[in-house]
Chains A and B, each alone.
Chain A
Amino acid sequence: MSESGMTDGSVKLSVSDISKSFGGVQAVRGVSIEVPKGVIFSIIGPNGAGKTSLLNMISGFYHPDEGSIRFENTDITETTPANRAAMGIARTFQNIALFRGLTVLENLMLGRHVHMKSGVVSSMLYWGRAQREEVEHRARVEEIIDFLKLSDLRKQPTGALAYGLQKRVELGRALAVDPTLLLLDEPMAGMNQEEKEDMVRYVLDVNDEFGTTIVLIEHDMGVVMDISDHVVVLDQGAKIAEGTPDHVRADPGVIEAYLGTGNH
C-alpha cells in the first residue's frame, strides 16, 4: 500500500458517467470513478464486465458514447491517445503489444518519444540536437533498465523473449514515458507464481518510488486485495461496488456477481 506520502488528496483522474456500446452490446454503462493521486486503484469484475473497455476509453483508444474524462482537472475526452501520452498517461496491454522487431532498448527509447523533439533533418545528420537527445534519453532509459533488472537483455530483440520478460519490458516501455498515471491491463495474466511476485514488487515499487498513480485490472484476487488502496467492481458494464479491499470483499453484490447465488 502506498503510505509514502505521495497521496495528497487531490484527484488524478475522474471519469464521469461514461458509456460505450458496440452494436447491440452495452460494454460500459454510466460508470463513474474517481482516482486519487498516488494510489493503487484496481478495477475487477468477471469476464466481459467492461474493464478493458473502460481502460481503453481512459487511454483514448475508444471514444465514449456519453460522459467525460478529466485528467488533473483537464477534460481529455476529446484528446488523442498520443496527446494523452504526452500529458503523462501510459499503459500496458492485456495481449502484449511490444514492437517485436526492435530490441528492449529501442522499445524503451520509444517510450521516450513524447519527450524528444528532434526533426527529420537533424535525425538524418545525427548531429547536434538529435545526437544529444539520444544520449540524454538513453540515460533515463538505462535507469529504468536497472530498475526492472533488464540489463543483460537490453540489446535482445523483444520478439524472442520469454512471456514474463515481455510483460516486464512492456511495463518498462510504459515507465519510459515518465507517466504520472499508469494503466496496467492484467500485468500478471499467464504468469507463474515467481513471475507474479516479481511483477507485484515492481508495481509496488513504481508506486512507491516514482509516486505514480496506478490503475490496475487484474484477475488474481489475492494480488488485488493485497496491494490495492481502492477497488472498483464492474459487472455487465456497470459499477456494482467500490471501496477498500475489505469492504468490497464483504459486499453481497460482489459475492453474487462472482459466485452466483445459491438458487440456480
Chain B
Amino acid sequence: MFHRESGYYKTTYAADMELFPLPITKAAIVVICVLFFGLFPALMTDYYISVINLCAIAVVGALGLNILVGYTGQISVGHAAFMSVGAYTAANLATRWDLPFWITLPAGGFMAMGVGLIVGLPSLRVKGLYLAIATLAAQFIIEWVINHTPAISGGVQASIEVPRPSLAGWDMDTQTEMYYFLMFFTALAVIGTLNLARSRIGRAFIAIRDQDIAAEIIGINVYRYKLLAFGLSSFYAGVAGVMYTYYLGIANYEMFQLPISIDYLAMIIIGGLGSVLGTIFGAVFITLLPVVVRVFMETVGVYFVEGVYLAQVIAQMRLILFGGLIILFLVVEPEGLNKLWQNIRNYFRVWPFSH
C-alpha cells in the first residue's frame, strides 16, 4: 500500500517491464506467499480453510470470465456450463480409467476449451446482447445434454462420485491437503493471467475491447483473437470445474446452473472488469457473502428472528444483499473493488501530502 516510487531508477527495459518492479511490492508478494502457503493452513481451523478453498476455486473461474468479458469485451452468460464440461470430463476420466488429477485436470480444461470455441463462434458475427443470448442458449443446451446423456452424467441424479486426488501415493483428503492442491492451481492461474495481460496477446484482447476496427487495421486478426479469448476463458472455467469436483468429491450439474454463471458475472463486475486483482477481490467477496450473512444472522439475528425461521431468512438475505450490492456498485463505483483499492493506494502514495 505504501508505494514509494521515487528513487528507483531502471536502466534496462527488462527491469522496467517486470511484473512487480518495486522492491516493496516484491516484499509484499513474499509476505502474501508466507501467509497463504505457511501460516494460514497451519493456524486456521478446517472450517475457515474450507472457505478459502471455495474462494480459490472461484478465483480461477472468475479469472477465466474476466479474460473474456473484462479484457476482450465479449460477453458470456454460460460460464458455469463450461465449468460443468470440465467437471464431467474429469469425473468420467477419473472413475472409468482411474486417471490421476494431473491428467484429468488439463483434460477437463481442454474439453471445456473445445466446447467454448464452438460457443464462441457466434461472437464473430454478433456483439453485446445478441452474444449474451447465444451464450445463454449454450448454458441451457450444455446443461440439458449432460443431464440427459447417462454416458456423460453417470445416470441416476446426474452425479458422479470421484476419488480424492492423489500424488505419488499421497491422498489429499483433509481440508488442509485440499487447500494446497487448490491453491497451487489458483496461484498458477493468477500468475498466468497477470503475464498474459502484459504481453502481446493480452494487449490484443484489450485492443479488440476498446476499438475493434482499429485493432484489425493495426494488424490484429480479430476473429482469431476473439476465439482465443473464448477458448482461454473456457479453459479456465473447465479447470475451475475440475477443482470444484475434486473439492466436493462429486460432479453434479446442479452446481453449474445459470445462477452460478450470474454469480461469476457479479464477481467480475463487483471486483473490477479487466483487472486480475479486482477478480480476486470480487471472487472472494461473492464467495464470502453468504458465509458472512450466516455468521451475522446466527450471532445478531437470533435476537430478531425466531429460530425456526432463521434458515429461510438467511437464504433470502443473501439474495437481497446480492442484488442490492450489484446495483450499489454499478451506481457508485462501476470500476469495482479494484478501483476502491486504487483510490486508497493513491491516497497513501503521497501521504501525508495531498498532491
| Residues of chain B with a CB closer than 8 A to A163's CB | none
Contact present for A100 and B220 (CB under 8 Å): no
| Residues of chain B with a CB closer than 8 A to A134's CB | 13, 17, 198-200
Interface size on A, residues (CB 8 A): 43
Q: A105 to chain B: closest CB distance in Å? A: 10
Of B82-90, B127-135, B205-213, B285-293, the one with at least 4 CB within 8 A of chain A: B205-213
B232 touches A (CB below 8 Å): yes
- Whether A81 contacts B228 in the complex (CB less than 8 A), given A99-B207, A138-B17, comes out as no
- Whether A82 contacts B214 in the complex (CB less than 8 A), given A130-B200, A138-B17, comes out as no
| Residues of chain A with a CB closer than 8 A to B331's CB | none
Closest to A133 in B: B200
Contact present for A135 and B218 (CB under 8 Å): no
Choose among A61, A118, A120 the residue that contacts B217 (Cβ–Cβ < 8 A): A61
Binary A-proximity of B11-27 (CB < 8 A = 1, otherwise 0): 01110010100000000
Q: Which of B170-225 contact A (CB under 8 A)?
A: 192-193, 195-196, 198-204, 206-207, 209-211, 213-222
Closest to B214 in A: A97
Contact present for B218 and A61 (CB under 8 Å): no
| Residues of chain B with a CB closer than 8 A to A10's CB | none
A131 touches B (CB below 8 Å): yes
Contact present for B201 and A123 (CB under 8 Å): yes
B274 touches A (CB below 8 Å): yes
Choose among B198, B207, B213, B221 the residue that contacts A110 (Cβ–Cβ < 8 A): B207
Interface residues on B, range: 20 to 34
Choose among B196, B206, B218, B232 the residue that contacts A111 (Cβ–Cβ < 8 A): B218
Choose among B198, B211, B221 the residue that contacts A99 (Cβ–Cβ < 8 A): B211
Query: Once bound together, how far apart are the Cα atoms of A116 and B199, in whole Å?
Result: 10
Q: B161 to chain A: closest CB distance in Å? A: 33
Contact present for A123 and B200 (CB under 8 Å): yes
Contact present for B210 and A100 (CB under 8 Å): yes
State the total of A-B contacts with C-beta under 8 angstroms. 115
- Whether A173 contacts B14 in the complex (CB less than 8 A), given A106-B203, A123-B200, comes out as no
Binary B-proximity of A53-86 (CB < 8 A = 1, otherwise 0): 0000001110000000000000000001111011
Query: Once bound together, how far apart are the Cα atoms of A125 and B193, in whole Å?
Result: 9
Listed residue (B12, B210, B228, B274) with the most chain A CB atoms within 10 angstroms of its CB: B210
Choose among B13, B206, B219 the residue that contacts A101 (Cβ–Cβ < 8 A): B206
- Whether A118 contacts B219 in the complex (CB less than 8 A), given A138-B13, A142-B13, comes out as no
Contact present for A124 and B203 (CB under 8 Å): no
Query: Once bound together, how far apart are the Cα atoms of A93 and B232, in whole Å?
Result: 31
Contact present for A59 and B217 (CB under 8 Å): yes
Query: Once bound together, how far apart are the Cα atoms of A174 and B19, in whole Å?
Result: 27
Besides A80-B221, A123-B196, A126-B19, 4 more A-B contacts (Cβ < 8 Å) are A113-B200, A124-B199, A130-B199, A134-B17
Chain A interface residues toward B at CB < 8 A:
59-61, 80-83, 85-86, 90-91, 93, 97-102, 106, 109-111, 113-114, 116, 118-120, 123-126, 130-131, 133-135, 138-139, 142, 173-174, 177
The 4 residue pairs across chains A and B that have the minimum distance between CB atoms: A85-B219, A114-B219, A97-B214, A123-B199
A-B contact pairs, 8 of them (CB 8 A): A59-B217, A85-B217, A97-B214, A101-B206, A102-B206, A110-B218, A120-B228, A173-B218
